[in-house]
Amino acid sequence: MAPVAEPLPRILALHAFYQVPGGEDQVHRTEVAHLRERGHEVLDVTVENAQLATLGTAGRLRATVSNPATAAMVAEHLREFRPDVAYVNNVFPGLSGSVIEACRAHGVPVVRVLHNYRFACVSANLFRDGKFCDSCVGNPGVAGIVHGCYRDSRAVSAVATLARRVDRKASAGAHVIAISRYVRDVAERAGMDAARITVRPNLTVPGDASPADSDAAPREVVVFAGRDTPEKGLPDLLTAFALLRERRPGALLQIVGPEAPRELTPGIQWLGRLPHREVTALMAGAGAVAVPSVWPEPFGLVAVEALAAGTPVVAAASGGLAELEGDAVRLHTPGSPQSLADALDATLALPRADAAQSARARYATDFSPDTWYRLTIEAFAGAMEDARG
């Protein structure tokens, strides 16, 4: 007699969308769609963080720490949908740790994803005054309040720090997914149980936007896609590109995300925000994708999307990005435009067909949807087993 297959876990997915759309939001959408494609019943419960503005200042701050409205909403979904596991990408600030408490109260195991360092750093990026800072890792986080690390306000930083403590208390015993070994190490330093941490990359699914001739023709095109914030390293890239143009006068830099400055520079295209499909198409047609972050990037979603598109990557040797070193990924010294220019020059010199083959092979080996799904299901199984025991 053939063994009876275990039913697939029913999943309650929780996420608070950021006011400025980012990689976490894209990942959440991709993951929910992929889990459904794999046959799971997924109830996707999301809120827009911008909605908190309707509560007024005092109400917004209270809801950031503890939000009875979202807790009640999630409790109702738990009663009606009866999930086997809750899968949580982000609760700050629109959902708050209250939704985790609701899951625990209903006996539903929780799997949290650590996309950033908010569990240990009020600004979520281990970055202050233009340099690395881990002063609050493993302690109550007084330094983050003193320095006003969240939105340049001591008062708001105090509220966000309190919200972090409430969230951590609610999440005690939850299983955790760290999107890189670096994030795992910070989580362990912050006091999380190493036995309940799974290291698993973010999900990227290859699109169909790769130009048919991208493997054949060498392209002196560099793509940057990211927010216009200091930690993303765009100023270093602009300086590095000027050095690169001295060697490669025909090189082109395409910048996705930030708005164009008043004074334009030859060889640089400022494209603003673009749909995700258009961004991956740009990557597929480039000779290199640059990820010059000067903060310890937790993972590097853009880098892996580039590999999936068949394009080699030049990334900063810090945080989770440093773990990408290998086939189709060349590292540079963070904060060094000269090192970045040298790495870009060497990458653009690669034969395009060989580079594309290497990038796609690296993606298939380390970051495929099958790898993501296997590790995700292992985390779900661990959380569900703990709940039963």
Task: Tell me if 322 is assigned to some domain.
Answer: yes
The verdict on 359 and 378 lying in the same domain is: no
349 has a pLDDT exceeding 90 = yes
CATH number, domain with residue 69 = 3.40.50.2000
The verdict on 164 and 45 lying in the same domain is: yes
The verdict on 226 and 346 lying in the same domain is: yes
Task: Specify the number of domains making up the chain.
Answer: 2
| Strand extents, DSSP E, the chain | 11-17, 42-48, 85-90, 110-114, 127-128, 131-132, 175-178, 197-199, 221-225, 252-256, 268-272, 288-291, 313-316, 329-332
Task: Tell me if 289 is assigned to some domain.
Answer: yes
Mean pLDDT (whole number) for 266-276 = 94
CA angle 97–31–258, rounded 5-degree value = 85
Residue 142 has a pLDDT of 95
DSSP 8-state secondary structure symbol assigned to residue 291: E
The verdict on 170 and 249 lying in the same domain is: no
The verdict on 173 and 273 lying in the same domain is: no
Residue 5 has a pLDDT of 53
The amino acid present at 216, given as its one-letter code, is A
Task: Tell me if 209 is assigned to some domain.
Answer: no
Mean pLDDT (whole number) for 346-362 = 94
The verdict on 83 and 199 lying in the same domain is: yes
Task: Tell me if 145 is assigned to some domain.
Answer: yes
2 has a pLDDT exceeding 70 = no
3 has a pLDDT exceeding 50 = no
Task: Tell me if 4 is assigned to some domain.
Answer: no
| CA distance linking residue 339 with residue 313, whole number of Å | 14
Residues 6 or more apart whose CB falls under 8 angstroms from that of 145 comprise: 122, 154, 157, 158, 161
What are the pLDDT digits (tens) for 181-214? Answer: 999 999 999 999 999 999 999 999 986 544 444 4
Task: Tell me if 216 is assigned to some domain.
Answer: no
The verdict on 285 and 373 lying in the same domain is: no
Residue 6 has a pLDDT of 72
Q: Both tokens of residue 359?
A: 């990038």
Residue 318 has a pLDDT of 95
373 has a pLDDT exceeding 60 = yes
Over pLDDT 70: what percentage of the chain? 96
176 has a pLDDT exceeding 90 = yes
What are the pLDDT digits (tens) for 92-147? Answer: 999 999 999 999 999 999 999 999 999 999 999 999 999 999 999 999 999 999 99
| CA distance linking residue 198 with residue 380, whole number of Å | 10
Residue 121 has a pLDDT of 97
The helix/strand/coil state of 364 is: helix
Task: Tell me if 99 is assigned to some domain.
Answer: yes
The verdict on 81 and 97 lying in the same domain is: yes
What are the pLDDT digits (tens) for 304-323? Answer: 999 999 999 999 999 999 99
Residue 77 has a pLDDT of 98
Question: Can you give the pTM of this predicted structure?
Answer: 0.93
The verdict on 233 and 327 lying in the same domain is: yes
pLDDT band at 262 (very low <50, low <70, confident <90, very high): confident
Q: Looking at per-residue confidence, does 173 or 369 come out higher?
A: 369
The verdict on 75 and 152 lying in the same domain is: yes
The verdict on 37 and 155 lying in the same domain is: yes
Task: Tell me if 214 is assigned to some domain.
Answer: no
Find the domain containing 318 and state its range: 221-366
The verdict on 93 and 131 lying in the same domain is: yes
pLDDT band at 58 (very low <50, low <70, confident <90, very high): confident
